[in-house]
C-alpha cells in the first residue's frame, strides 16, 4: 500500500501545484501509516526531483522519455497507472491543473478507482473516507465517498500549504514500456500568453470588469498586478467584447480560482461571476456603486471611482513595498 502523487513539471522544474499535491499526498500517507511515492515524466534533473523529500515524499519514480515532454492523456495514463502498480498505490493524488484533470478520469477507468476532482481540504480518514469539494459553482460543498477500493483525488491550487521539511527523496528511473501506439496526439506548437503570472495557480489576483469603460484603461490594473506580483483576471462581460483575452475570464463558465487575495475593480458581482471566485481567501471590492452585490461577498470594500482609487492604491502599494 502507498499513496502515489503525480507531480507536474515545467521547463525542468517542479510546478508549485506539484509541491502542493506532494504535501497533500504525504500528509495523507502519514495519516494512513504508509509511504508517499511520486511519479514524474519527461526531462527533469534527479536533483530537482529529490527535493520532493522536503514535502515528505520518500521515493520518486521517473520516466524520462522525451516524447513525454508534451502532454498526451493516453500515454500519461499508461505511465501513471504503471507507477501505481509498481508502488502498490491505493490512493492517487494529482493537481487540479488542466492536465491533472484530463488525466484523473482516464486513470479512474484504467484503475477502477473513483475520482473526486477539485478537493479543497485533506481527505477525512476518520470513519468514512470523504473528500470535500465545492459544487454548484461554489454555492454548495459536497463530501464525497468512494464505492471503490482505490481512490483518486485532484487537489485545488492554493488549498493545501506546501510542507517545508528536511530530507531528500530517492529517485529511481522507471519505464512503463510505451509504444508509439500509446500516443494519440501530436503537438505542433505551444504559444505562451505573455510574461505575466498564469492565473490558475496565482496566489494574488487583480481583476477588473466593465466599470473600467474600455481596454485602454487596463494599464493601472496591470500596474497593480505587477506591484503585487499578481495575475490579472476579468469578468465575462469584458472578455466577451475582447477587451481582455478569454483565458482571463473567471466565473461559472470560465475559470474557478481560489487565490489568497482577489481584488475586483468595477465588477458588479453577478452570481455567475462570484461562482468562480467566492472561495478566494480574502476579497477586496472597489466599485462606485455602494449597492453593487459584490460588496456582500467581500472582506474589504472601497466605494469609489476606480479611476481615482486605483492610482492612489498603486502609490500606497509602492510605498509599502519600498518599506517592506
Ligand X SMILES: Cc1cc2nc3c(=O)[nH]c(=O)nc-3n(C[C@H](O)[C@H](O)[C@H](O)COP(=O)(O)OP(=O)(O)OC[C@H]3O[C@@H](n4cnc5c(N)ncnc54)[C@H](O)[C@@H]3O)c2cc1C
Residues 208-247 that bind another protein (CB under 8 A): 228, 239, 246-247
Q: Of residues 73-102, which lie at the interface with another protein (CB under 8 A)? A: 73-74, 77, 97-99, 101-102
Is residue 139 close enough to count as binding another protein by CB under 8 A?
A: yes
147, 166, 180, 242: which one binds another protein (CB under 8 A): 147
Instruction: Considering the complex, state which of residue 1 and residue 185 has its C-beta at the smaller distance from another protein.
Output: 185
The b-or-e profile of 106-143 (16+ CB within 10 A means b, else e) is: bbbeebebbbbbbbbbbbeeeeeebbbbbeebbeeeee
State the cell numbers at 247: 483565458
Q: What are phi and psi of 135, to 5 degrees?
A: -130, 170
Alpha-carbon gap, residue 37 to 40, rounded angstroms: 10
Side-chain half-sphere CA neighbours of 182 within 13 A = 15
Instruction: Considering the complex, state which of residue 170 and residue 196 has its C-beta at the smaller distance from another protein.
Output: 196
Alpha-carbon gap, residue 171 to 39, rounded angstroms: 10
Instruction: Considering the complex, state which of residue 19 and residue 249 has its C-beta at the smaller distance from ligand X.
Output: 249
**Which positions ≥6 away from 289 have C-beta within 8 Å?**
268, 303
Q: Of residues 176-195, which lie at the interface with another protein (CB under 8 A)? A: 184-193
Residue 136's binding partner among ligand X, another protein, none (Cβ under 5 to 8 angstroms by kind) is another protein
Alpha-carbon gap, residue 110 to 255, rounded angstroms: 28
Instruction: Considering the complex, state which of residue 48 and residue 121 has its C-beta at the smaller distance from another protein.
Output: 121
Alpha-carbon gap, residue 303 to 266, rounded angstroms: 10
Residue 293's binding partner among another protein, ligand X, none (Cβ under 5 to 8 angstroms by kind) is none
Is residue 175 close enough to count as binding another protein by CB under 8 A?
A: no
- The site for ligand X (CB under 6 A) is made up of 209-211, 235-238, 249, 251-254, 266-268, 270, 272-273, 276, 287-289, 292, 305-307
138, 211, 266, 269: which one binds another protein (CB under 8 A): 138
- Please say whether the beta carbons of 184 and 73 come within 8 A: yes
Least distance (Å) from another protein to the CB of residue 56?
25
Q: What is the DSSP string of 13-37?
A: EE-HHHHHHHHHHHHHHHHHT-EEE
Is residue 162 close enough to count as binding another protein by CB under 8 A?
A: no
State the cell numbers at 57: 515524499
Least distance (Å) from another protein to the CB of residue 166?
26
- Please say whether the beta carbons of 202 and 192 come within 8 A: no
Is residue 268 close enough to count as binding another protein by CB under 8 A?
A: no
User: Using CB under 8 A, which of the segments 25-33, 161-169, 212-220, 271-279 binds another protein?
Assistant: 271-279
Residue 138's binding partner among ligand X, another protein, none (Cβ under 5 to 8 angstroms by kind) is another protein
User: Smallest Cα–Cα separation from 123: which of 105, 144, 147?
Assistant: 144
Binding mask 41-80 for another protein (x = CB under 8 A): -----------------------------xxxxx--x---
Amino acid at each position: 500500500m502507498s499513496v502515489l502523487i503525480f507531480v507536474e513539471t515545467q521547463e525542468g522544474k517542479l510546478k508549485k501545484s506539484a509541491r502542493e499535491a506532494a504535501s497533500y499526498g504525504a500528509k495523507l500517507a502519514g495519516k494512513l501509516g504508509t509511504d508517499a511515492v511520486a511519479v514524474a515524466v519527461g526531462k527533469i534533473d534527479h536533483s530537482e526531483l529529490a527535493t520532493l523529500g522536503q514535502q515528505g515524499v520518500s521515493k520518486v519514480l521517473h520516466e524520462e522519455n522525451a516524447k513525454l515532454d508534451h502532454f498526451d492523456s493516453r500515454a500519461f495514463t499508461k505511465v501513471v497507472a504503471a507507477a501505481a502498480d509498481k508502488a502498490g498505490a491505493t490512493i492517487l493524488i494529482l493537481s487540479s491543473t488542466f492536465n491533472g484533470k484530463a488525466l484523473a478520469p482516464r486513470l479512474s477507468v484504467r484503475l477502477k478507482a473513483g475520482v473526486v476532482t477539485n478537493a479543497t481540504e485533506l481527505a477525512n480518514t476518520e470513519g468514512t473516507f470523504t473528500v470535500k469539494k465545492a459544487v454548484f459553482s461554489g454555492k454548495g460543498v459536497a463530501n464525497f465517498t468512494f464505492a471503490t477500493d482505490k481512490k483518486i483525488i485532484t487537489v485545488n491550487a492554493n488549498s493545501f500549504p506546501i510542507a517545508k521539511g528536511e530530507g531528500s527523496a530517492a529517485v529511481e528511473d522507471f519505464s512503463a514500456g510505451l509504444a508509439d501506439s500509446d500516443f494519440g496526439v501530436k503537438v505542433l506548437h505551444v504559444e505562451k500568453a505573455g510574461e505575466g503570472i498564469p492565473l490558475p495557480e496565482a496566489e494574488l489576483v487583480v481583476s477588473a470588469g466593465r466599470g473600467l469603460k474600455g481596454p485602454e484603461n487596463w494599464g493601472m490594473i496591470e500596474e497593480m498586478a505587477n506591484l503585487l506580483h499578481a495575475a490579472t483576471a476579468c469578468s465575462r462581460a469584458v472578455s466577451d467584447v475582447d477587451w481582455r483575452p478569454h483565458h482571463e475570464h473567471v466565473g461559472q463558465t470560465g475559470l474557478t480560482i481560489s487565490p489568497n487575495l482577489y481584488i475586483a475593480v468595477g465588477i458588479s458581482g453577478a452570481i455567475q461571476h462570484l461562482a468562480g471566485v467566492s472561495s478566494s481567501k480574502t476579497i477586496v471590492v472597489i466599485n462606485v456603486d455602494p449597492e453593487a452585490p459584490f460588496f456582500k461577498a467581500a472582506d474589504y470594500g472601497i466605494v469609489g471611482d476606480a479611476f481615482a482609487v486605483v492610482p492612489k492604491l498603486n502609490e500606497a502599494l509602492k510605498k509599502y513595498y519600498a518599506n517592506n
